[in-house]
Amino acid sequence: MHWLHRHRLWIVAGICIFVTGSVLLLHFTPEVPFLSYVWSGEQGAQDLLRREGRKTPTRDDFVFVGIDEESRHFEPFDAAQIENNRALQLMAKKDFPWSREVWAHFLDRVLGAGARLVMFDLTFGNETENDPPFRAALDRYRDKVVIGANIDLTQDEHGNPHSKFGEPSPSLIPPPQMQDDRVGYVVFFPDLIDKRIRSVRYTMTESQLAFQESYPGEPQIESLSARAARKLGFGDKVPHDLKPRIFRFSALDAYPPKKLFEILDDKSWHANYHDGAFFKDKVIVVGASSQISHDVFDTPIGPETPGPALHLHTLAALMAGDFLHDLPLSAWLAFVIVAGVVAFVLLWLIRRPLICLATFTAVTIAYLIAVRLIYDWNGLFLLVVPTMTAFNVSGVIGLGFEYTLEILERMRTRRTLERYVSKNLVAEILENPDSYYHSLLGVRVPATMLFSDLVGFTTLSEKADPEALVKQLNEYLSCMTGVVFKNGGTLDKFIGDAIMCVWGNVKSLGVAEDAKSAVRTAFGMRQELQKLNENWKAEGRMGLGMGIGINQGEVIVGNIGSHERMDPTVIGDAVNLASRLEALTRQYNVDILVGATAAELARDEFHLRSVARVQVKGKSQPVDVFTLIGSRKEDVDPELLKWMQSYEEGIEKFRERDFTQAKILFSRFLEFYPEDFLAKMYLERALEYENTPPDEAWNAVEVFKKK
Encode burial over 348-380: b for 16+ CB neighbours within 10 A, e otherwise: eebeebeebbebbeebeeebeeebbeebeeebe
Distance CA 39, CA 100 (A): 50
User: What is the distance between the alpha carbons of residues 313 and 533, in angstroms, rounded to a whole number?
Assistant: 95
**CB atoms < 10 A from the CB of 142, how many?**
14
C-alpha 252/C-alpha 187 separation (Å) is 20
Q: C-alpha angle with apex 72: 69 to 74, nearest 5 degrees? A: 95
Q: For residue 492, what pLDDT is reported? A: 84
Which residue type occupies 120?
A: F
Q: How many CB atoms lie within 10 A of CB 414?
A: 15
Interatomic CA distance for residues 177 and 460, integer angstroms: 121
Give CA–CA dist 450/524, Å, rounded. Answer: 13
Tell me which DSSP letter residue 104 carries.
H
Element (H, E) at 353: helix 353-378
pLDDT at 213: 80
Q: What is the pLDDT, as a whole number, of residue 1?
A: 47
Give the Cα separation of 168 and 146 in Å (integer): 11
How many residues does this entry show for the chain?
707
Q: What is the pLDDT of residue 434?
A: 55
Separation of alpha carbons 321 and 238, rounded Å: 9
Q: How far apart are CA 134 and CA 107, in angstroms?
A: 9
CATH superfamily, region 423-635 = Nucleotide cyclase, GGDEF domain (3.30.70.1230)
Cis status, amide bond into 30, omega within 30 of 0: no
Single pTM value for the model: 0.65
Residues of the chain with pLDDT under 50: 1, 420
> What's the DSSP call for residue 114?
T
Per-domain boundaries in the chain: 2-48+326-415, 57-321, 423-635, 637-707
Q: Please name the residue ranges forming H helices in 55-188.
A: 69-72, 79-82, 86-93, 101-112, 131-140
| Residue 203: how many other CB atoms lie within 10 Å | 19
